[in-house]
Amino acid sequence: MTGPFESSPEPSGGLGSRLLGRKNRGAAARDIEALLAGSPKLTEVTAGRIAAIATEHGVEMSRLQSQCRELYGRYLEFCLVDHALSEAEVTDLGHLRTILELPDAVASEVHAEVACAVYGAAVEEVLSDHRLDPEEEEFLQRIRDGLDLDEGTATRAMEEGRRKARQRYLSTVVSSDDILVASQEIKLEIEGSSEESIEGAVADALREAATVLPGLKRVVVSSLEADITQGTVTRWHVKLKAVLDKR
């Protein structure tokens, strides 16, 4: 079948895999995955065949819950690439849960973890420019609905996405000498350019900074350059310096 499963998964190997029966559990999990990968349809795989593989390796299905949980999670991630579950995918997931003998509580836990990860990735993508326009908000709402995320989980994912976006931005503008200063201040170096004017170049530099760092109140123009063509300025370039309180 087309999916996240491999027909010949790599063994983990090593001393650790031989402790406490891990070697047998690992081999059983690999064979189960190979069976899933080789079946044209997931619904054609029976619980009996899965159980038989476990028996062949001298392992009870209850001892394979961790491995089966991982297989279920991978298939759920595969289904949620488009941020929604079709009726066929819901059917496949229900069947997979049954043949892997995953308790409902475990399956629900996996759903919550994967849904949060999928939504979090979508939030990070949307916030790559540090803005959230109406179309992007509608996009995220569709994902929340498709994943059946509660408001609290969605809010936490949004806050985490904003934090990561801010950290990414700061990593590009923090002055190199800041790491040498053990103080409560962050020194920033921000660049911008404009074909129109110096003011336009400053505005370009501040456009992203003002969104990510609302506490930014004052900057100093530390460098001003211009591209010249036949005696005429074709583009202004500025570098701004600013200081933020870390606290």
The answer to whether residues 127 and 181 belong to one domain is no
Asked whether residue 32 is assigned to any structural domain, the reply reads yes
Mean pLDDT by 10 residues, the chain (247 residues): 74 47 83 94 95 94 94 94 90 96 94 92 86 88 88 90 83 63 69 93 87 80 92 93 70
The answer to whether residues 196 and 241 belong to one domain is yes
Predicted pLDDT of residue 18: 43
Last residue of a domain, one of 151, 173, 195: 173
The answer to whether residues 82 and 4 belong to one domain is yes
Asked whether residue 107 is assigned to any structural domain, the reply reads no
Please report, for the domain that includes residue 202, its CATH number. 3.30.1660.10
The answer to whether residues 136 and 156 belong to one domain is yes
pTM of the model: 0.68
Predicted pLDDT of residue 32: 95
Asked whether residue 55 is assigned to any structural domain, the reply reads yes
Contacts of 211 (CB under 8 A, 6+ apart): 130, 131
Predicted pLDDT of residue 20: 44
The answer to whether residues 131 and 154 belong to one domain is yes
**Number of structural domains found in the chain:** 3
Predicted pLDDT of residue 14: 47
The answer to whether residues 141 and 185 belong to one domain is no
The answer to whether residues 142 and 209 belong to one domain is no
Domain that holds residue 165: 115-173
Asked whether residue 109 is assigned to any structural domain, the reply reads no
The answer to whether residues 200 and 182 belong to one domain is yes
The answer to whether residues 33 and 98 belong to one domain is yes
Asked whether residue 193 is assigned to any structural domain, the reply reads yes
Predicted pLDDT of residue 11: 59
The answer to whether residues 8 and 97 belong to one domain is yes
Predicted pLDDT of residue 79: 93
Asked whether residue 148 is assigned to any structural domain, the reply reads yes
The answer to whether residues 11 and 77 belong to one domain is yes
Last residue of a domain, one of 78, 102, 126: 102
The answer to whether residues 133 and 230 belong to one domain is no
Predicted pLDDT of residue 1: 58
Last residue of a domain, one of 173, 188, 205: 173
